[in-house]
A and B are shown apart, each in its own frame.
Chain A
Amino acid sequence: MIKIVFFAALREQLACAELSLNAEGVKTVGDVKQRLSDKNSQWQQTFSKASLLSAVNHDMVDDSHLVKSGDEVAFFPPVTGG
């Protein structure tokens, strides 16, 4: 399984903080997004946003980054700290 976590506005839009995704057939972060997009049109819209940021095991990555079972994949909007 892959652990998926969401933060800030994204978490509120999806009304979901985390979920588990079966790793079968999932090779990259892009595949994870595709799988989540299949849920419904709202999720599809959310995961097609170019501004969406992704992290795997606490490192910011792009869509081609490889993922495997046991990884923690995070999705969140652009950061606004400081």
Chain B
Amino acid sequence: MTSQDPFKEISIQTEDFSLADEVALLEKNNLTDGAVVTFTGRVRNNNNGNSVTSLTLEHYPGMTEKSLAKIIKQAKEQWHIGRVKVIHRIGELHIGEQIVFVGVTSKHRQDAYAANEFIMDYLKVKAPFWKKEKITNAGKTSENWLAAKSSDTDKADLWS
């Protein structure tokens, strides 16, 4: 990788992504890092006992990128990590579809594991994304904005 070809760390996109392609980019011309840790989040078919049919992801353009850049910077200050990639999809997503990707490389596995988890935990409570779910209950379809979970805030607080 040359200076004319900087590694793009953050992508907010409607289109799907390929795990294999992302891993290949994290590894390309990267011979110093022996560890590659990836996390992929997907749309599941259930939430709080309701049957979920789809999710719609809204975000705050501009702030999203800024907050993710800040989280990545914090991770780099805290652990010895090489490359970081964060992808978050927006728009309507159906069951089984990929929503989010976090990939981190490091010389040894501990730093990549920890930094990856930190980035996801902070993304959950700091990055301006909101999920609206379409659910079916007793044959009736309705749309609800998801409520934030205190368990996510508690988990993120563990890092501070």
Q: Which residues of A contact B (CB under 8 A)?
A: 5, 7-9, 12, 51, 55, 58-60, 74, 76-82
Residue among A5, A9, A12, A80 with max Cβ neighbours from chain B (10 Å)? A80
A-B pairs with beta carbons under 8 Å apart, 25 shown: A7-B60, A7-B128, A9-B145, A12-B145, A55-B128, A59-B66, A74-B128, A76-B60, A76-B130, A77-B148, A78-B147, A79-B125, A79-B126, A79-B127, A79-B128, A79-B129, A80-B131, A80-B147, A80-B148, A81-B88, A81-B100, A81-B123, A81-B124, A81-B128, A81-B131
Contact-residue size bin, chain B (C-beta under 8 Å from the other chain):
20 to 34
CB pair B124 A79 closer than 8 Å: yes
With A8-B58, A81-B59 as given contacts, are A60 and B130 in contact (CB-CB < 8 Å)? Answer: no
CB A82 to nearest CB in B, in angstroms, measures: 4
With A8-B145, A9-B145 as given contacts, are A81 and B130 in contact (CB-CB < 8 Å)? Answer: yes
With A7-B58, A9-B145 as given contacts, are A80 and B63 in contact (CB-CB < 8 Å)? Answer: no
> Dominant SS at the B interface?
mixed
Extra contacts, 5 of them, besides A59-B63, A76-B60 (Cβ < 8 A), are A9-B145, A12-B145, A55-B63, A78-B147, A81-B130
Which residue of chain B lies nearest to A59 when distances are taken between CB atoms in the complex? B66
CB A17 to nearest CB in B, in angstroms, measures: 11
B126-141 contact mask (Cβ, 8 Å, vs A): 1 or 0:
1111111000000000
- Does residue B96 face the partner (Cβ distance < 8 Å to A)? no
4 nearest CB pairs, A to B: A81-B129, A78-B148, A8-B130, A58-B63
CB pair A74 B129 closer than 8 Å: no
CB pair B60 A77 closer than 8 Å: no
Which residue of chain A lies nearest to B146 when distances are taken between CB atoms in the complex? A80
- Does residue B91 face the partner (Cβ distance < 8 Å to A)? no
